[in-house]
Structure 1
Amino acid sequence: MNHKFLQIHPKDNVLVALTDLKSGETIEFSGKSIVLRDNIPAKHKFAIADLAKGELIYMYGSIVGKAMSPISMGGVLTVSNTAHEANSFGQKTGEYQWSPPDITRFENRTFMGFHRPDGQVGTGNYWLVIPLVFCENRNVATIKDAFMEELGFGKQNPYKSLVQQMANLYKQGQKDDIENLSIEKAIPKEDNRLFKNIDGIKFLTHEGGCGGIRKDSESLCGLLAGYINNPNVAGATVLSLGCQNAQPSILEGKLQTINPNLQKPVIILEQQKEGTEENLLSQAIKKTFLAMAEADKYERAPAPLSKITLGLECGGSDGFSGISANPAVGHASDIIVALKGKTILSEFPELCGVEQELINRCTNTGIAEKFSHLMTAYAASAVAVGSGFDMNPSPGNIKDGLITDAMKSSGAAKKGGTSPVVDVLDYTEYATKPGLNLLCTPGNDVESTTAMAGSGANIILFTTGLGTPTGNPITPVIKVSSNTKLAVRMPDIIDFNTGGVIEGTKTIKEMGEEMLELIIKVASGEVKSKAMELGQDDFIPWKRGVSL
């Protein structure tokens, strides 16, 4: 790899700057000299030939934009001279042929997981406390306050000490000394958990369950059912008010659909039946405590890597994400698929322009048609509210080189590797088929990771080029950096650095295999991801309808 620039695909008519390039600098590419017309920041793109107004721009071998004004050879692509344009898509064509990666290194490997009666294997052992409606959030918070410290799940907050120091200085009239204070790192508490085999008790508060359209409440119940069924969950306590749209019967119906033979304890309490708040809370706390005592009997035991369901996510992406982190995640995904495990690729707005490739990778026309239908309907719903997939790139994406949605999508899709698409799932549908699954979610990081855990992911790989402090309550999230600068600047959130691909010291294959070694350690409970250490328990259901 040239360490100054990269052509990703032979069909591309732009190059990616791997380092900052100066205006007037001459580079040699494909037998010709290109004089740079502009300063080209690292991660941005520049033309390798003169582009006329309206001419299509190619990256990854796909259409990623069109010139809105003439762009000279050596000129930088910007939001001023480039607009979103993407490949169209139609029916599935041909039979997809896949060459699986070499799995010799991993085919007899295991991880230490929690085996559930239905055959799923968890990478953690959590108890859930869930409100069916936002009216119960305060009661959930009361239960959390009662349990966390007493059961040994509480964590010291180093910022409390900082506030105490500031308050003392202020009282002493030494306000000017506050700027010189530093954070006193909390001393980790000795593991004093009462239930040693329970990794945590998680509280999934939300703002839904009533007041919106009925479809939103049904979707919420489907999502919560997926969380209860997730192999990382031992059981759940569910609080209902009684009169809300999201009724316990809907939740129970969704659980029956996902897993007719569910053998987990699910405690459902309704406040309007229990009477006083004190009675509701005392019943919830006592029943939950006794159920957790039973859940504590689960112990980790060896499980094949085929029991991993791997979520594939990106957020805070940059111009290197599609070159380093995402393809490396894609290779790890291909290995899991070759080992008969499941992987989940979501974020449908970030598959814009690569639809035909994914359609052709579908194992049958029915799956392909479902994907096409979901993508078309999603795009139309965005347009109906005055938006569109073309508005997906964030200011941070644009600043770091992703100036069109198709450009972002072409790189984002690399997380799905090259394996066949075995199933397409609408939001809250549960992954059951070994192989690569496509899941309809927004591009929003937390809505997407929330959905993947609800569809059964027991580990999530999350790539980022800018840095994103995101995790999940029940599923370990492993953060993968696209570049070394980020990994050095934000070591508290980055678990794995693929910057070596950009620097030319590592290959995609090497990075993917090293990533899988880390997955095995996290899945076994040997290593905690940074998101777990920081307690990043982000949970945002996707509200698909309008509010009434």
Structure 2
Amino acid sequence: MSKKILKIHPDDNVLVALTDLEYGEVVEYNGNKIVLADNVAAKHKFAEQELAPGVEIKMYGSLVGKAVTTIPVGGLLTTQNVKHAASAFTGKTQSLTEWNAPDVSKWVDRTFMGYHRADGQIGTGNFWLVIPMVFCENRNVDTIKQAFIEELGFGHHDAYKTYVHQMVQLFKEGKEDEIASLPFHGSNGQHHKRVFENIDGIKFLTHEGGCGGTRHDANMLCALLAAYIHHPNVAGATVLSLGCQNAQVSILEQKIKELDPNFSKPLIILEQQKEGTEQDLLSQAIRRTFVEMVEANKLKRAPAPLSKLVVGLECGGSDGFSGISANPALGHVSDLLVALNGKSVLSEFPELCGVEQELINRCVNDEIAERFGSLMRAYARAAEAVGSGFDMNPSPGNIKDGLITDAIKSAGAAKKGGNSPVVDVLDYPEYISKPGLNLLCTPGNDVECTTALAGSGCNVILFTTGLGTPTGNPISPVIKVSSNTKLAQRMPDIIDIDTGPIISGEKTIEEMGEDILNFIIEVASGNITTKAMQLGQDDFIPWKRDVSL
């Protein structure tokens, strides 16, 4: 029989409902019988003991809030009776001790089939990029997209266009009454076979930046675009520049050189104000891109050790089960990768509020610990300066499904980072260099975060969700992990892996983590196409920190 309730940490004074509980129902924990004082929906929390106003509320062994009014035994925690509270943090308060690394003997000799780059990086995909330096070039990039996608076999049958065509025909035939019940048959896949069998796609990174903002934002955009060009999943790139924008090509070239002084990928750069007419610009861009793609198609997958995996860890549309099932499962994946000398990246700094001290104590030295603390404080000050704060991070969907304070959300979100030492802290948009667990300063915003994770060098991204989030990335496969089985069954078109069996007791966190690592290997080898890539979820939004001018 599956459990009805869960106490996450021995120090907690609240319990989690694993299934819907009714007012007056009696549940038992550790020999104590608790009568529910409210209806408690699955994923929500209730008091194990009476909580007077001002009493600290503990979950995951951490401070996650304070009672505003008296909450009786068995009483539901809500936004009306609980307010956000989180522990303060300083420098390291504990010396780093040896962590208990998981047994990876069965993985040591495993490989994935990847694309080997000249700089030693290994790609899990092989993509060509078309990039505008400024939003003025977005329309030209879209024209190139229309020219290439269908002809190269990367387009999909537009079932929605067909659906509208059917309705138009019924209207023309005077059969308006049949339109309301016209069935939708969905997509039936790609039009035809890809022209280049060893190229996984041509991707177009349109954006709204490059000019009109601060020089700082322009420099960060150039650094991000350089990182995408440098990324192991990228074969080469075509760059369109207007010429007069803040994000100058010279800055992009310098950022690429900083990442790889021996950069040797094909890079086509065209400036509209020098080329003349749009026809001249576009015809040259299309011709030169096709020629270089012919060369890029000659590279084939070859075996690579799992130490070459760089896995991003993110959550979005989280629910009250995310920190119990999906996120801890990702934490075990991270620990497995670190034990194999691979790299993992934990992002979303607003969702690490309240667990800073734990992460600081896990940093391998004082310098890295201080950098993390400084970035967290600076980010918090910036949020407060515009009338917000980390306490305002939970979305209406988060709150509705049990994450009523940012500290509750953060304590669960941090579980994605497992237990290994923190070897480095990266500010946006820095590129990863050290094997082990890295922290990356990003927003909690789903697309800005996935954009940043790929920009840091992640060749696979794990994305947990409890509510369902249709998010992907143009170059890094995003594996969507559901925290609960109901979501996986309701939205099978976006969910790759269901960790609901952890909630039902059918699987342990460790077993699920191993399942996920096996899935990563298949995705990295090109044997499985993630749901996000099947749906063409090529989301790309650079993080704009400054103001427009």
TM-score clears 0.5: yes
2:8 is matched with which residue? 8
Distance apart, 1:15 and its partner CA: 0.2
Correspondences of 1:232-243 after superposition (within 5 Å):
232-243=233-244
2:318 corresponds to 1:314: no
Distance apart, 1:83 and its partner CA: 0.6
- Residue 483 of structure 2 contacts residue 498 of structure 2 at CA under 8 Å; is this kept in 1? yes
Report Cα offsets for 1:109-147 as digits up to 9, x if no partner: 000000000000000000000000000000000111111
1:153 is matched with which residue? 154
2:245 is matched with which residue? 244
Cα distance between partner residues in 2 of 1:163 and 1:402: 40
1:63 is matched with which residue? 63
1:207 is matched with which residue? 208
Cα distance between partner residues in 2 of 1:396 and 1:176: 38
Task: Please identify, of 70-79 and 169-178, the stretch whose mean Cα deviation from structure 2 is larger.
Answer: 169-178
Classify the secondary structure of the residue corresponding to 1:438.
strand
Distance apart, 1:165 and its partner CA: 1.0
Correspondences of 1:397-546 after superposition (within 5 Å):
397-546=398-547
Report Cα offsets for 1:306-331 as digits up to 9, x if no partner: 00000001000000000000000110
2:391 corresponds to 1:387: no
Correspondences of 1:67-106 after superposition (within 5 Å):
67-93=67-93, 94-106=95-107
Distance apart, 1:409 and its partner CA: 0.3
1:23 is matched with which residue? 23
Cα distance between partner residues in 2 of 1:368 and 1:265: 39
Change (3 A) 1:13 1:125: same
- Residue 209 of structure 1 contacts residue 245 of structure 1 at CA under 8 Å; is this kept in 2? yes
Scaled by the length of structure 1, the TM-score of the pair is 0.99
Cα distance between partner residues in 2 of 1:63 and 1:244: 47
2:329 corresponds to 1:328: yes
Cα distance between partner residues in 1 of 2:156 and 2:163: 16
Report Cα offsets for 1:19-59 as digits up to 9, x if no partner: 00000111122232211100000000000011010111000
Correspondences of 1:354-393 after superposition (within 5 Å):
354-393=355-394
Change (3 A) 1:2 1:184: closer
Cα distance between partner residues in 2 of 1:99 and 1:187: 48
2:143 corresponds to 1:142: yes
1:43 is matched with which residue? 43
- Residue 154 of structure 2 contacts residue 190 of structure 2 at CA under 8 Å; is this kept in 1? no
Report Cα offsets for 1:316-348 as digits up to 9, x if no partner: 000000000000011011101110111011000
Cα distance between partner residues in 2 of 1:393 and 1:189: 38
AA at the equivalent of 1:179: A
AA at the equivalent of 1:526: N
Distance apart, 1:190 and its partner CA: 6.6
Correspondences of 1:99-248 after superposition (within 5 Å):
99-189=100-190, 191-248=192-249
Distance apart, 1:173 and its partner CA: 2.4
Cα distance between partner residues in 2 of 1:352 and 1:522: 32
Report Cα offsets for 1:450-496 as digits up to 9, x if no partner: 00000100000000000011100000000000000001101110000
Cα distance between partner residues in 2 of 1:175 and 1:420: 65
2:270 corresponds to 1:272: no
Cα distance between partner residues in 2 of 1:188 and 1:28: 51
Aligned length: 548
Cα distance between partner residues in 2 of 1:97 and 1:14: 31
Cα distance between partner residues in 2 of 1:295 and 1:217: 30
Cα distance between partner residues in 1 of 2:190 and 2:253: 39
Task: Please identify, of 170-179 and 434-443, the stretch whose mean Cα deviation from structure 2 is larger.
Answer: 170-179
Distance apart, 1:191 and its partner CA: 4.8
Distance apart, 1:204 and its partner CA: 0.3
Report Cα offsets for 1:414-470 as digits up to 9, x if no partner: 001111101000001000100011000000010000000001000000000000111
Report Cα offsets for 1:158-198 as digits up to 9, x if no partner: 11111011111112222222121122233334752221110
Classify the secondary structure of the residue corresponding to 2:42.
coil
Report Cα offsets for 1:514-536 as digits up to 9, x if no partner: 00110000000001000011110
Distance apart, 1:97 and its partner CA: 2.3
Cα distance between partner residues in 1 of 2:209 and 2:166: 39
Classify the secondary structure of the residue corresponding to 1:151.
coil
AA at the equivalent of 2:369: A
Report Cα offsets for 1:382-427 as digits up to 9, x if no partner: 0000000000000000000000000000000000111110100000
AA at the equivalent of 1:289: F
Scaled by the length of structure 2, the TM-score of the pair is 0.99
Cα distance between partner residues in 1 of 2:435 and 2:70: 48
Cα distance between partner residues in 2 of 1:227 and 1:450: 9
Cα distance between partner residues in 1 of 2:501 and 2:509: 9
- Residue 153 of structure 2 contacts residue 191 of structure 2 at CA under 8 Å; is this kept in 1? no
- Residue 96 of structure 1 contacts residue 360 of structure 1 at CA under 8 Å; is this kept in 2? no
Task: Please identify, of 521-530 and 30-39, the stretch whose mean Cα deviation from structure 2 is larger.
Answer: 30-39
AA at the equivalent of 2:110: R
Classify the secondary structure of the residue corresponding to 1:170.
helix
Cα distance between partner residues in 1 of 2:131 and 2:425: 28
Distance apart, 1:377 and its partner CA: 0.0
2:304 is matched with which residue? 303
Change (3 A) 1:138 1:261: same
1:338 is matched with which residue? 339
Classify the secondary structure of the residue corresponding to 2:330.
helix
Gaps of 5+ in 1: none
Classify the secondary structure of the residue corresponding to 1:261.
coil
Distance apart, 1:253 and its partner CA: 1.1
Classify the secondary structure of the residue corresponding to 1:16.
strand
- Residue 131 of structure 1 contacts residue 238 of structure 1 at CA under 8 Å; is this kept in 2? yes
Cα distance between partner residues in 1 of 2:86 and 2:249: 44
Classify the secondary structure of the residue corresponding to 2:85.
coil
1:254 is matched with which residue? 255
Q: What fraction of aligned residue pairs are identical, expressed as a percent? A: 70
- Residue 96 of structure 1 contacts residue 363 of structure 1 at CA under 8 Å; is this kept in 2? no
Cα distance between partner residues in 2 of 1:186 and 1:395: 32
Task: Please identify, of 225-234 and 29-38, the stretch whose mean Cα deviation from structure 2 is larger.
Answer: 29-38
- Residue 155 of structure 2 contacts residue 190 of structure 2 at CA under 8 Å; is this kept in 1? no
Cα distance between partner residues in 2 of 1:78 and 1:188: 45
Classify the secondary structure of the residue corresponding to 2:434.
coil
Cα distance between partner residues in 2 of 1:351 and 1:428: 18
Cα distance between partner residues in 1 of 2:177 and 2:50: 59
- Residue 161 of structure 1 contacts residue 184 of structure 1 at CA under 8 Å; is this kept in 2? no
Gaps of 5+ in 2: none
